[in-house]
Amino acid sequence: MTLDDLYATILVRKDADPTSSWTAQLLAKGPEKCAEKFGEEAVEAIIEAVKGDRDALTGEAADVLYHLLVMLAARDVPLSDVLDTLAARQSQSGIAEKASRVP
C-alpha cells in the first residue's frame, strides 16, 4: 500500500455512511476531532519511540500516517500538495529552508 492508495481510500470514505466506516465516523465529527485524534496518535508514537519498542512504534507510526491523511482530507488538503512541498524543500538544506520561513 502507498500513501496515495490510503489517501484515495480515505477520500472515498469521506462520503460514506458513518455507521459503515471508522474513517467516515471520524470525518463526520469534523476537522477539529480529526486533528485531535492525529495529536493523540502522535503522542503515542513518541512514547513508543522513547521506550524503544520497535514493534509498537511501527504500529503507532502507521496510526500517525493514517490520521494525518484523515486530517488533511478533513480540511481538503490534497496529499499531492504536501508531497509537492516536500519535493520543493528537497533542493535545499533543511537549515536553509527553515531559515527562509517567515516567523
Helices 79-90, 54-74: inter-axial angle, 10-degree rounding? 110
Place of cell 470514505: 13
Which residue has better confidence, 83 or 95?
83
pLDDT given for residue 58 in this prediction = 98
Cell of 56: 509498537
pLDDT tens digits along 10-37: 999 999 999 999 999 999 999 999 999 9
13 neighbors 56 (Cβ within 8 angstroms): no
16 neighbors 70 (Cβ within 8 angstroms): no
Residue 92 has pLDDT above 80, yes or no: no
Residue 97 has pLDDT above 70, yes or no: no
State the chain's mean pLDDT as an integer. Answer: 94
